[in-house]
Structures are given as structure tokens and as C-alpha cells.
Chains A and B, each alone.
Chain A
């Protein structure tokens, strides 16, 4: 048993729903109790889909247990086929149905439905949402994809985008355009927008673009083996990664790399003088492994930030993320426990968080700006406008998105100069953070004697405490920590104004 307050990933059958909802002509019959229908609202409300997910739930009740849950499943399956007439069906169980062991796969097979029925075995008590999506798409591909004649011109499949993904809709558009510039057509994009008939002709492509390893890698590996389809290993998020990706595509196809950078603005925006204030900003990254790895490279090499910590919630990516963290000289945090992430952020006191919806909450609580780089995300991260993460436009979008929550260069100076102005002070926060955002930082409420400082018991003298308050709020946490660390290293037990400025000089960059 493990106590959980918020989860980064849902159960694996939600992953299967993300695949089914992204596709057309496919129906999912899920053996599950009535409450599990909540998952529909993820798609209809958070992603604003205008159709119900193609899922039939058996919604069994306590009184059905032990008597006819199996019949309930068969009836639901038969009715779903007749009502929706899908080209193929997937069947499986949610966590509760897994316990009653009705074997939906076996039952559906015995029913002799006139379309392919693919059974899913998704262990609810061991695995999670990303695994569920990856495994489901793999099983669908394995069941339906057959060797077929290759297209005459060079073409590829886009693999991995699902419903409820982070900017998947726009990443597809961006990549399709970039590949077209090189003369490469998209044969099939899957699961997003694909029908079972489309899955059958995956093999006509010359190679696969693995957009999201979290949800498409198992299928890509299988297609590499069985359909002779090599797949790309670089995820084109960020300027460098996009260039590397196009070079990889060129080497797979023998075509000359061509990349239209006329719309690319990130490099100049990062190099322009206003961005000086970005340099060395201490950032913490957390999310799914793929997006964190991409964001780390952008943060360090393309924005000039200092990466002070990074990690991922999906254990499947633990190895590459640990390796990556080593390159950045930090310890990787691999956990799906929100409280651990919060503790790590609190201890590191970064100036910005690049994370998920959860880290946005942490950021609000700790008063640290946060930009979202990875699922899980909320309704505001499904914008109406075109805003991909991948490719040239993705790089532009990322620059804007990451800079937005920060206090701007000039504003930072003004805040410092006029910190005692009644409407331009600490508590008022930055002008673009919203007028209501006036909650004082936790530290001003409770003069911290945090655990780190407790053993040595460093005491802040009143005058130093007052001086500290004059420092703008967005760097005050760092100043406090640096001073305490400095004092502890020097064996000083009382912090006065001198200690504060000694520390400032010590840490001056």
C-alpha cells in the first residue's frame, strides 16, 4: 500500500482509452464498475473533445458479482458492436474487473464477432497510463499491421500521438510540414487520427518517426523487426534536436537534409540583450522522460539557464534520465510521489520550474514561476491557437512559454528600485502575474527555521532579517538559503547584515 495525494499518471486502462479515443473506427469495451466512466470527462472536458470516447463500460454492480458479470460483458460487447459497427474492437478490464477474473479477451473471442477483436492485458496494480497506451497501440499494430508494398515515393509514419497528449495535435501538423519540405509524405499518423484500416497499411512507409517514446516505442520496435521499418531516435523538440532529427531522417532516407529556418526566432531571441536576465536562471525540470530530456537541452544550450535538478515520473525512462542527469552534474529524481518532488523543489529553491500541472501547483504554493513542458496538463494547456512543441515553430513557442512566467529584465530592476512603492512592491508581485496574486511568500509568514538549518541552528538577527526583506521576493529565498549555507560553512551561528553581504560577495557570479 502506498499513500498518494495526486497522481502523475492514471491507471493503464486510461492509456488504452487515450489510444482508442485518438483513433477512428475502433471501439473499446471495458469491463468496469460504473464509477470508472469518470474517465470520459478527461477527454470531453479537459481536452474539449466534441464526441464521447468510443468506450462502452459494462458498469457492473455489487449485486452482479458472482452471478452474471460475464454475461453482462458479453451483452455489452454485442450491443457495442451492433450500435457502433467498428472496424475493430479492443476489450479489457479495469482494476476492479481484473480482480474478478472474467477474462474479457477470451469471452470476446468466443463470441465470433465479424471484426478483429484485440484482447488487452493491462496489469492495473503494477503499471500505469503510459504503459497502457504503449501496450495497447502495440497490440493493435501487431494484430492489424501486415507487410505491404512500399510507397513509390519516400514516406514515413508518425507514431505515438494520442488523445489527451501534450500538444500532440499541433506537433503532428508541424512535423508533417517539415517532412514535406524534405519531400517526405506522411503515410499514416497513428494512433491519432488513424483507423484500423490505416493501421493495416503502416508497412507501406519507408520509416517511422517515433514522436513520443512513452506511447509508441513498443510498436516501433515491433515494426522495425516485422515490417522492416527503421525508426528515428531523436525527438525534435528544441532547435538543436530539430536539426539533429532532420539529419537523422536524411541518413535514414538518403535524402539531403533541408530545413526551412526562415521562421526560426529562438536563437536570436536568446541572443538579444533583453535575454541577459535569463542567463544563469536556476531551473528545475520534471515531467515525462522524453519532454524532460528535450527541455534540459533547450534550457542549458538554447536559453542559457542553469539546470539545478531534473527528473521524471515514469519509471520506464529512469535509465536514460539518470544518465542525462549525470551529464548535467545533478542527481536525477525518479518518483511518482508528488510530495517528494515538492520537497526537492523546496530544497533546491530554483528560480523557475519547468514541469507538469503538478509542479504548477507546487510553484504556486512556493511562489516560484512555472512553465508547463509535459503531461499531465490541465484544460488551459489545450490552447485554441497553434502551439506545437516540436520543430521550428515549437522552438519559438517554447521560448515564449518559458519566458512568460518570469519577471522581465527591466521589471526586475524597477521592482528593486521601487520596492517600497505602495503598489509596486513585493506583495503586489509582477504585473503580468494577475492582480490577485498577492499572497505573501510562505517565508514571510513563518520566519523559517527549516530542517536544513535546524541542526546548526543559525539565528537571523533582527537587522539582518529586515535587510533580507528588502531583497526582491523572487530572489529572497535563494539569498536566505545561500546566506545560511555560507554561515554554516563558516561556523557562524548568528547572521547579521555583514554575514548577509559576505555571503552575497561569496556567491557573486
Chain B
């Protein structure tokens, strides 16, 4: 568990297992569940089928009591048969929606599998609607369809759609990219401010009016690994990425902050003064959970693209052994620094054939399996201990103060298994 030295050989050039079969993953629409909470004056209107609406309410788990800021414009037979002008239909639904929700300032038209297949032009619809409702409401569009996006890629597509509309600036600014819970975002901003980095914006901003601009003097840091499209869109606007490991755990957070400190010429003494106390706290907090995790093996099914940085955290800070690290997509440009820190050994897998992967998992008998909701209970019933992956994107897990919580998410299932003595009852 040496924290500061990278392994002799990392996983950057490790062979990647690529299989093509059934994918057991959510589509990009799922991101709406956390995005609509983050952007408090935005509404997400999925143009899709009953399946899309059903997915959103099932993925939301417990439904939100108030009227949610997302909905589905369900395509009907007449829309498909071309009997009705889909553009007009959509405009009518948007009018009704905006009339009922005058608090809405940003509206995202979100493409789905059916709308993509029938080639409904949502970009044109967004343009027309923007013209009609400007300046009060800005209408953007992106696709969260399952034929193009996997789970967290929906957030990537959403943020990427916002980039071209950002105003131009020549200011030297730092932009943090990724939707984080407010409390976590505030912690990051505070750490940066203490280091003297205070011209910082966040994409997505909490409100449509928050000033976020981009230009050739903008540098940006990603707080999530799945933002490849947004990364490319920002580069097209002239911004420059500061590569770093993702800010999970004490080590990841320190490395992430250090990359920014270097970029902005923060002196070592100041960096240490700002980070020493929270680093020590994070180490102490992780240590407690690590007692349960040390020496245990872990197997990742592909889900959120957080798998590589999380495997890095679990192996280096919690003493676990990674057997297989599956990820839906492997963006080496973004994950390179994390792959360098992940010691060689685990099978890195991209994409999925779920039946074959289940066979490998059963053969490996890992102490902990990280997987989606569809697989968790069946695997528990087979005697494997699981951690549902979706909690990792719904729970505050970034930066120092959440490092212990992040480790705790993985140790709890193991502690539960140890705590239950059910043999006599069965």
C-alpha cells in the first residue's frame, strides 16, 4: 500500500478483453435522474416511448414526491405513421410544459432509441423553440438513447451539448467539469480557493444564469471519467485539459489537486498547508473501512466508467486485489493517469457479453462483485457478495471528506455478510 510511488508496471498498456454480446447496462437517459437535481431550473423532456418513461421511473427507485423536472413526450402510432407533424406536436407539448412551469430556464430535448431510429430532428426543434422562447428559456438537445449511449454517457452528451452555447472568454479560468452534489462541489471550490485558485467555474452550473464561459485561456479538470465527448467539445472551443487521476480517495484527490496546483503555480508549502489536514482525515477514515477490505478480491462488471479509478482506489488505498475490471468504454486519454497507478494483474475488459462474464465471475469467486441492479440479487443468491454500482453515481464519493464514505460503500456488503448468521434459520 505505498501511496506515493506508482507501481512498477501499470495497466496503461495491459491487453484489453473486448467481447460483444448482451450488455446489461442502463442507457444514457438514466443520467437525467441526477442531472435534473443538479440544474435547478432545467427540465429534461425525453422524446421517446413508454419504455423510456418506465425506465426513468424505475431507475429513480423511489419516486420524487414533487412533480419532477423531467418527463417523456411519448410517441404514438400517429406520430410514427407520419400522420402528424412531429415537430408541431413537440412544439405544442413544450408550450404546455413551459406554461405550467414558468420557473424553467433551460429545456433539454433528449433523444431516445425510437426518436433516433425515426430520425426525428431534435436539433432543429431545439433551434426553433429557442428562437421562440429566447431569452427566457434556452432549449438544447442531446441523445440519451441506448443505441448510442451507455448509462453515464448521457451526462457526457448533455454537458457536451451545452459547450457550443457557452459565451466566449479570454480570461484565464479553471473550469470543473462534471455534475457533483453541491456539498462536494463546494468542498472542491474551497480547497482550490485556499490555494489561491479562485477564478473557477463549474459545468454544469446550478442555475442557467451562473456565468460560465470558455475560451483559449480556459483550462479544465474533469471530476468524472466518462466525459470524453465534453472533453472534445471543450477542446474545440480552445480550452485545455489538465490530465490527472480522478479525485477518488485520498491519493486520487491529492493527485488531482496537485495537477491543478502545478498548472496554476501554487507553491509546495501552500499546497501542503491546505491539504495536510484533510489528507490525514481521509486516510484515517479510509483506514477503518480498509480493515474489512484488505486482502479481499474484487470483480467489476461494466457500469458507470468509474471502474478503473475505483479499482485504483480499492487496490492502492484499501489493500484489495482486483481480478477483473470491466468498463463500458475505456477512454485512455482521460484514464491514462489512473491506469498508470493501477498495478498490472487484473483483466481489463471493455464492453460486455454478460453471460460469458458471469461465467468468469463465478469461476473467480471474488470476495466482492461490483455490478448493476439486475445482477446483484441473483449473484447474492448464488453466495457472492455484491455492491450495486448505481449507488456510486448517486452518492457523494469524491474528494477527501467522502473518501471514507466511498470505502464504506464497499465494506458494508462484506460486513453485512459477516454480521448475518442465517444458517440456523434456513
Contact = CB atoms under 8 A, between A and B. Distances in A.
A124 interface: yes
B27 A33 contact: yes
Most buried by B among A33, A56, A126, A357: A33
Interface in B371-397: 372-378, 380-381
A52 interface: yes
B86 A1 contact: yes
B54 A10 contact: yes
Contacts of B21: 59, 79
A4 B80 contact: no
Interface stretch (B62-70, B193-201, B238-246, B399-407): B62-70
A505 interface: no
A128 B89 CA distance: 22
A125 B51 CA distance: 10
Nearest to A357: B63
B355 A44 contact: no
A37 interface: yes
A35 interface: yes
A5 B55 CA distance: 12
23 contacts: A1-B73, A1-B92, A4-B50, A5-B70, A5-B71, A6-B63, A7-B57, A11-B51, A34-B23, A36-B51, A37-B25, A38-B30, A50-B377, A50-B378, A59-B146, A62-B147, A62-B148, A95-B51, A95-B114, A125-B75, A125-B77, A126-B76, A378-B62
Nearest to A60: B147
B49 interface: yes
Interface string B1-37: 0000000000000000000011111111110000000
A36 B146 contact: yes
Given A34-B23, A35-B27, A50-B381, 20 more contacts: A7-B50, A7-B57, A10-B51, A14-B54, A35-B146, A36-B27, A37-B22, A38-B27, A40-B374, A41-B58, A41-B59, A41-B372, A44-B375, A45-B377, A94-B51, A95-B114, A125-B49, A339-B67, A364-B65, A365-B66
B377 A2 contact: no
Contact of B113 (A35, A125, A126, A357): A35
Interface string A64-102: 010000000000100100010000000000111001100
A45 B50 contact: no
Contacts of B355: 79, 83
Interface string B347-385: 000000001000000000000000011111110110000
Given A45-B377, A95-B51, A378-B62, A56 B72 contact: no
B344 interface: no
A52 B374 contact: yes
B45 to A, nearest CB: 8
A83 B65 CA distance: 43
Contacts of B55: 35-36, 38
Interface of B: 21-30, 45, 47, 49-51, 53-55, 57-59, 62-63, 65-68, 70-77, 79-80, 84, 86, 89-90, 92-93, 96-97, 113-114, 116-118, 145-148, 150, 355, 372-378, 380-381
A96 B113 contact: yes
Interface residues of A, number: 57
Contact of B50 (A10, A41, A357): A10
A4 B24 CA distance: 26
9 closest Cβ pairs, A-B complex: A35-B27, A35-B146, A40-B374, A50-B381, A96-B113, A33-B146, A41-B373, A95-B49, A10-B54
Nearest to B25: A34
A262 interface: no
A57 B27 CA distance: 14
A490 interface: no
Contacts of B116: 62
A62 B112 CA distance: 11
Contacts of B51: 10-11, 13-14, 36, 94-96, 124
B72 A96 contact: no
A94 B28 CA distance: 17
Given A33-B27, A96-B147, A7 B377 contact: no
Name the residue among B21, B145, B147, B373 with the largest chain A CB count within 10 angstroms. B147
Nearest to A126: B77
Nearest to B146: A35
A76 B80 CA distance: 28
Contacts of B53: 4, 6-7
Nearest to B373: A41
A40 B24 contact: yes
Contact of A58 (B22, B25, B58, B86): B22
B373 A5 contact: no
Nearest to A125: B77
A38 B117 contact: no
Given A1-B76, A62-B148, A99 B90 contact: no
B65 A3 contact: no
Contact of A33 (B147, B375, B380): B147
Nearest to A64: B147
Contact of B377 (A33, A35, A44, A100): A44
A1 B115 CA distance: 12
Given A33-B113, A62-B148, A52 B378 contact: yes
Contacts of A60: 147
A33 B65 CA distance: 30
A319 interface: no
Interface in A1-56: 1-7, 9-11, 13-14, 33-42, 44-46, 48-52, 56
Contacts of A148: none
Contacts of B62: 378
A413 B163 CA distance: 61
Contact of B96 (A3, A42, A123): A3
Nearest to B149: A35
Which of B47, B148, B380 has the most chain A CB within a 10 Å cutoff? B148
A357 B89 CA distance: 30
A445 interface: no
Interface string A345-371: 000000000000100010011000000
Nearest to B47: A1
A61 to B, nearest CB: 5
B374 A50 contact: no
A50 B377 CA distance: 5
Contacts of B377: 44-45, 48-50
Contact of B373 (A2, A45, A59): A45
Contacts of B49: 11, 95-96, 124-125
A41 B49 CA distance: 19
B345 to A, nearest CB: 29
A164 B173 CA distance: 52
A49 B43 CA distance: 34
B24 A1 contact: no
A106 B178 CA distance: 46
B355 to A, nearest CB: 6
Interface string A161-176: 0000000000000000
Contact of B76 (A99, A125, A128): A125
